[in-house]
């Protein structure tokens, strides 16, 4: 039976009327296009410069979005005095290099997830940002969505009781193509770094940091993870099951089950989404009412970062650098468990036949 209850208000930063930053973009690809589109359409944040190794790509991006400055190098972008914060939207193996470049120039950074391709590199980036006194934040944008902030408050207030189990799946199919970076280990390919980062973050968010984990999955003949399932246990015995795939589509209907109540998403949890809270036979629905859909939801993390900078913070209070390191460590463990080099920090991988693997 569906009933009504009073849910907490979303704890999101106002998209207009708050602190405003001038953004520079490194890597004018698809995600940067969506990021810039929603910033300009739904917030006071403004992209004022873009940098690319290709002056033509930078110029085309600038013209498309009305961005004043287009730079033909990353060095010129981070040196631009009109830029307050740099959004790192290059392929993940380049995140560390580009973020360190911006940090060295004294710029704040929002780094697309995964922050880097290993826990060691994420630690290096965190140390550099802390030493420079600039804000560095992983672009775990799902954490800043209205519904996620409501769920965070329900968890903090004990509405679900003791969390016992979280299940989450993220899968988007990719047609096998040797030219696609998703199938290239050197380019940071594989399902875990691309989609699995969401699932492993959600498991940590819902149950806490994993103490033990076990991963089984399928690896390509180039050593790239195609699909995996990770079962982890956190302090207090809460367990999580994370399924990730780039060979099949999954609905992303995450569940957090507690001793008093259970939350079940009714839309894909990665995007602005609604969910139901079940308590026995009663179901209470929290509806996503912002009107923003899909990647338009990228805007909330930018507004949050602007507030953090205004408040003098150098880390996100809801997804800290230690949280980013923890997610990277979980991905390291899952990739390493799949063997074949998929978990190696250098991205190297021997050629191995496609196979199923199971590692305790």
Query: Which are the catalytic amino acids?
Result: 113
How many Cβ atoms are within 10 Å of 5's Cβ, its own excluded?
Answer: 12
Strand, coil or helix: 24: strand
DSSP state string for 96-165? HHHHHHHHHTT-EEEEESSSSSSHHHHHHHHHHHHHHT--EEEE-GGGGSHHHHHHHHHHHTTTT-SEEE
Asked if 144 and 318 touch (Cβ cutoff 8 Å), the reply is yes
Looking at the chain, how many residues does it have?
360
Q: Please identify which residue in the block is written with the tokens 């190098």.
A: 73
Asked if 194 and 211 touch (Cβ cutoff 8 Å), the reply is no
Say if residue 114 is preceded by a cis peptide, omega within 30 of 0. Answer: yes
How many Cβ atoms are within 10 Å of 86's Cβ, its own excluded?
Answer: 28
Asked if 62 and 50 touch (Cβ cutoff 8 Å), the reply is yes
Q: Name the token pair of 93.
A: 């193996």
Query: Secondary structure of 233-298 in the HEC alphabet?
Result: EECCCCEEEEEEECCCCCCCCCEEEECCCEEEECCCCCCCCCEEEEECCEEEEECCCCCCCHHHHH
Angle at 88 between CA 65 and CA 104, to 5 degrees: 120
């Amino acid at each position: 039976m569906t009933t009504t209850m009073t849910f907490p208000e979303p704890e999101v930063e106002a998209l207009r009327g708050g602190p405003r930053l001038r953004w520079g973009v490194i890597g004018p690809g698809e995600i940067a296009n969506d990021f810039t589109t929603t910033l300009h359409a739904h917030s006071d944040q403004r992209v004022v410069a873009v940098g690319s190794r290709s002056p033509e790509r930078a110029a085309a991006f600038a013209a498309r979005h009305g961005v004043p400055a287009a730079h033909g190098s990353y060095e010129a972008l981070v040196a631009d005095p009109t830029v307050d914060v740099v959004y790192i939207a290059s392929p993940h193996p380049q995140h560390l290099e580009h973020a360190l470049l911006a940090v060295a120039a004294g710029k704040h950074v929002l780094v697309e997830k995964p922050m880097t391709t290993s826990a060691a590199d994420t630690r290096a980036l965190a140390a550099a940002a802390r030493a420079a006194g600039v804000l560095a934040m992983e672009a775990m944008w799902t954490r800043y969505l209205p519904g996620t902030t409501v769920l965070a408050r329900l968890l903090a207030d004990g509405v679900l009781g003791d969390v016992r189990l979280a299940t989450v799946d993220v899968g988007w199919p990719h047609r096998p193509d040797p030219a696609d970076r998703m199938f290239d280990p050197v380019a940071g390919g594989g399902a875990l770094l691309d989609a699995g980062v969401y699932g492993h973050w959600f498991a940590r968010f819902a149950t806490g940091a994993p103490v033990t984990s076990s991963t089984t999955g399928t690896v390509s003949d180039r050593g790239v993870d195609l699909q995996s399932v990770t079962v982890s246990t956190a302090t207090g015995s809460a367990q999580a099951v994370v399924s990730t795939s780039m060979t099949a589509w999954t609905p992303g209907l995450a569940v957090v089950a507690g001793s008093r109540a259970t939350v079940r998403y009714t839309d894909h949890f990665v995007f602005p989404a609604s969910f139901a809270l079940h308590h026995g036979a009663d179901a209470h629905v929290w509806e996503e009412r912002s009107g923003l859909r899909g990647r338009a939801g990228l805007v909330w993390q930018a507004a949050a970062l602007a507030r953090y900078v205004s408040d003098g913070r150098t880390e996100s209070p809801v997804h800290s650098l230690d949280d980013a390191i923890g997610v990277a460590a979980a991905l390291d463990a899952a990739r390493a468990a799949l063997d074949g080099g998929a978990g190696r920090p250098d991205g190297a991988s021997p050629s191995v036949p496609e196979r199923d693997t199971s590692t305790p």
